[in-house]
């Protein structure tokens, strides 16, 4: 498979390129930032496409999209029209109308589409999903996901991740995407959502790179038709906090902490906390795409629902700026 890297804006572009070079032939890289493009290609010995048009006409079979989120839809429509299969960083697009444009182009051109929703394939999350699906928790009424990092505090998150136009928001639409698509996977689509966003990191560095005053500390609460509540917590200003997943139902409770154990406490365990047998992790979406062994759960419909959840989250916000 001949692969191209379309954009270097996202921090995961090097990781995706590593995977692509392991399983495919990477024939070139394009980004509109000439310096990023040149440095990346020189370091890896890859061909440098000087324009998107040059990339589109190169005859590649597939493309990995890591452009800024606001350009995703336009870029992917062009890639689909060039008959290239598409792997994209999340989120698919900033509006549901743009998601529909991408879906239309993908279907009309008969190309494959995969989005990066990696935590659905991790061992702990898969184990929690299996427990829910078994019915051991009964009717689900509570979900909580916390996924945070120290990018603002420890100054490692690139400045362009604070660009509201390019990102479409702050911590919630970036890191918070993981808690959103896991919520969709476990509970489905909510009927409403309400968010609280703040700027918690007030250092000189953080203020300098965040002129748009996008959120670095965020919570979205979602309401479901069956009475369930889902809480998605995220941010760029926490140190040492692992990913945490909790799900509760009428017959019990399960929790997972990153690099830890899945613990359940249900009527089936007679009200005692018990360690669940951990399922194996599955290949990540980018590897699935590059090997052609694509699993369920990272297609165009999941991508569209993630954007829908983000639209809900940003439509009702209490900003603490």
Q: What residue ranges of the chain are covered by domains with CATH 3.30.360.10?
A: 118-281+296-320
**CB-count burial class (<10 Å; 0-12, 13-18, 19+) for 225:** exposed
Q: What residue ranges of the chain are covered by domains with CATH 3.40.50.720?
A: 2-111
Provide the CA 17 distance to its chain's centre, in angstroms. 17
* SS3 state of residue 295: coil
pLDDT tens, position by position, 216-254: 999 999 999 999 999 999 999 999 999 999 999 999 999
Under the banding of pLDDT at 50, 70 and 90, the label for residue 320 is confident
Average pLDDT on 179-203 reads 97
Structure tokens at 232: 């998605």
Average pLDDT on 8-29 reads 98
Return the exposure string of 88-123: e unless at least 16 CB atoms fall within 10 Å of the residue's CB, then b.
bbbbbbbeeebbebbbebbeebebbbbbbbbbbbbe
pLDDT tens, position by position, 270-303: 999 999 999 999 999 999 999 999 999 999 999 9
pLDDT value at residue 321: 63
Kindly state which CATH superfamily the domain 2-111 is placed in.
NAD(P)-binding Rossmann-like Domain (3.40.50.720)
The pTM for the full model equals 0.97
% pLDDT > 70, the chain: 100
pLDDT tens, position by position, 87-101: 999 999 999 999 999
* SS3 state of residue 300: helix
pLDDT value at residue 215: 97
pLDDT tens, position by position, 248-269: 999 999 999 998 999 999 999 9
pLDDT at 19 over 70: yes
More confident position, 57 or 319: 57
Q: What angle do CA 19, 24, 30 make, to 5 degrees?
A: 75
Fold that domain 118-281+296-320 belongs to in CATH: Dihydrodipicolinate Reductase; domain 2 (3.30.360)
């Amino acid at each position: 498979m001949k692969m191209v890297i379309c954009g270097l804006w996202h921090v995961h572009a090097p990781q995706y390129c590593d995977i692509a070079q392991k399983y495919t032939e990477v024939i070139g890289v394009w980004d509109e930032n000439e310096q990023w493009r040149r440095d990346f290609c020189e370091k890896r010995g890859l061909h440098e496409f000087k324009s998107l048009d040059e990339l589109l006409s190169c005859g590649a079979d597939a493309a990995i999209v890591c452009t800024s989120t606001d350009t995703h839809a336009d870029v992917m429509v062009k890639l689909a029209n060039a008959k290239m299969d598409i792997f994209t960083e999340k989120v698919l697009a900033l509006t549901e109308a743009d998601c529909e444009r991408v879906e239309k182009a993908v279907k009309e051109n008969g190309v494959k589409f995969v989005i990066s929703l990696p935590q659905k394939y991790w061992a702990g999350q898969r184990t929690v999903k299996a427990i829910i699906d078994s019915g051991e928790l009964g009717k689900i009424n509570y979900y909580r996901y916390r996924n945070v990092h120290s990018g603002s505090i420890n100054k490692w998150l690139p400045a362009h991740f604070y660009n509201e136009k390019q990102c479409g928001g702050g911590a919630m639409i970036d890191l918070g995407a993981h808690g959103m698509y896991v919520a969709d996977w476990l509970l489905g689509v909510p009927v409403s959502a309400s968010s609280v966003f703040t700027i918690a990191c007030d250092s000189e560095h953080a203020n300098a790179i965040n002129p748009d005053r996008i959120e670095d500390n965020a919570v979205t609460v979602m309401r479901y038709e069956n009475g369930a509540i889902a809480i998605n917590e995220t941010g760029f200003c926490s140190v040492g906090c692992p990913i945490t997943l909790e799900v509760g139902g009428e017959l019990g409770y399960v929790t997972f902490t990153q690099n830890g154990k899945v613990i359940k406490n249900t009527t089936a365990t007679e009200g005692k906390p018990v360690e669940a047998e951990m399922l194996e992790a599955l290949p990540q979406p980018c590897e699935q795409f590059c090997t052609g062994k694509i699993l369920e759960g990272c297609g165009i419909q999941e991508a569209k629902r993630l954007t829908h959840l983000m639209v809900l989250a940003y439509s009702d916000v209490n900003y603490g700026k």
